[in-house]
């Protein structure tokens, strides 16, 4: 049996504490990040997207999910479904913890949802950086920011984690004899765990509850994204993207992902102030564009996080 000494941190609303928990335990649970109106919109829009996918036969099975499970539903490309999901992907609290774990620039590998249904089976125990060849680099290569869209309970399939497993610094074996404990948390909780932590979807033992979680997967910028944003993203999301989101999508880049040796230019802005700031005109037509930002490359260089 693997030697494990970890513990689960308590839910906190203090981001300094969350950052310490993430460093020490490989995960943190943060309350008070979403207001009630945002949570309600996220909930309704996610279930609407899930129902639409199901009605149109657009569901895709995921390799690590329980094989014989027709109650669980993955919802892909959540970022394109409604701008409220952009608010999750670039939430300042989320990005603070992403930066603290893997630095900046980072890429958003995916924003997808997993909805467990009554009777839904367990997922395969895994670490998210499963694609990184071993021996792994000393530091985590990614971080998962997950959002509890419903209450997560021990019965309805709350994500289960193996405390301390990030320190084992390897993927779990198929027959690994370890205890995975449920992350019990109310809807709206933001749970952040680094990419070496072993985890899985829990059993949904209820007869009448669905449990939705949205999982934002962020990586260092040397990894390919799971969702191919260049093909999958609704163009309006990029059109109105913040600078942080452009970086996360690979549409602003340094070192890798360049176009003719420079960062790709930003899309046109609709916002007169954004153009004025850099000495460009931007009118109601929204056709003026900001230049690519060598100043940004310089800023990243100073932070020293460029690949």
Of 217 and 229, the one with the shorter C-beta distance to ligand AKG is 217
**Shortest approach of ligand AKG to residue 187 CB, angstroms?**
14
Of 158 and 241, the one with the shorter C-beta distance to ligand AKG is 158
Phi and psi at 30, nearest 5°, equal -120, 130
Which residues sit at the interface with ligand AKG, rule CB under 6 A?
114, 123, 128, 159, 199-201, 213, 215
**Shortest approach of ligand AKG to residue 201 CB, angstroms?**
3
Distances (CA, A) of 180 to 77, 155, 165: 28, 14, 10
**Cα 239 to Cα 2: distance, rounded to the nearest angstrom:** 48
**Shortest approach of ligand AKG to residue 114 CB, angstroms?**
4
Which residue in 210, 78, 217 sits closest to 157, CA to CA? 210
**Cα 132 to Cα 142: distance, rounded to the nearest angstrom:** 10
User: Could you tell me where the beta strands, DSSP code E, fall in 76-188?
Assistant: 107-116, 142-148, 160-161, 181-182
Report the Cα–Cα distance between both ends of the chain, in Å, rounded: 37
**Shortest approach of ligand AKG to residue 126 CB, angstroms?**
7
Question: Scanning the structure block, which residue is given the tokens 């996610």?
Answer: 46
Phi and psi at 196, nearest 5°, equal -95, -10
Of 34 and 254, the one with the shorter C-beta distance to ligand AKG is 34
Of 164 and 293, the one with the shorter C-beta distance to ligand AKG is 164
**Shortest approach of ligand AKG to residue 129 CB, angstroms?**
11
Of 192 and 247, the one with the shorter C-beta distance to ligand AKG is 192
């Amino acid at each position: 049996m693997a030697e494990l000494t970890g513990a689960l941190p308590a839910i906190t609303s203090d981001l300094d504490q969350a950052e310490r928990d993430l460093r020490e335990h490989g995960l943190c649970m943060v309350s008070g990040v979403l207001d009630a109106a945002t949570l309600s919109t996220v909930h309704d829009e996610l279930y609407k997207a899930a129902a639409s996918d199901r009605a149109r036969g657009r569901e895709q099975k995921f390799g690590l999910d329980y094989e014989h499970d027709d109650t669980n539903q993955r919802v892909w490309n959540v970022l394109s479904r409604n701008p409220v999901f952009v608010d999750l992907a670039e939430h300042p609290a989320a990005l603070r913890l992403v930066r603290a774990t893997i630095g900046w620039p980072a890429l958003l590998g995916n924003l997808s949802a997993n909805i467990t249904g009554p009777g839904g089976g367990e997922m395969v125990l895994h670490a998210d950086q499963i694609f990184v060849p071993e021996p792994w680099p000393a530091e985590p290569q990614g971080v998962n920011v997950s959002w509890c869209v419903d209450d997560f309970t021990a019965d309805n399939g709350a994500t289960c984690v193996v405390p301390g497993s990030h320190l084992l610094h390897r993927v779990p074996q198929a027959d690994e004899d370890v205890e995975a404990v449920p992350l019990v948390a109310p809807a709206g909780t933001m749970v952040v765990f680094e990419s070496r932590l072993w985890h899985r979807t829990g059993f949904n033992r209820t007869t009448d509850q669905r449990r939705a979680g949205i999982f934002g997967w962020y990586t260092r910028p040397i990894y390919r994204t799971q969702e191919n944003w260049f093909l999958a993203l609704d163009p309006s999301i990029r059109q109105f993207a913040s600078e942080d989101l452009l970086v996360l999508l690979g549409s602003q880049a340094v070192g890798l992902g360049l176009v003719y040796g420079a960062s790709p230019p930003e899309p046109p802005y609709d916002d007169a102030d954004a153009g004025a700031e850099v000495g460009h005109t931007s009118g109601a037509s929204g056709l003026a564009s900001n230049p690519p930002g060598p100043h940004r490359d310089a800023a990243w260089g100073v932070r020293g996080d460029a690949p």
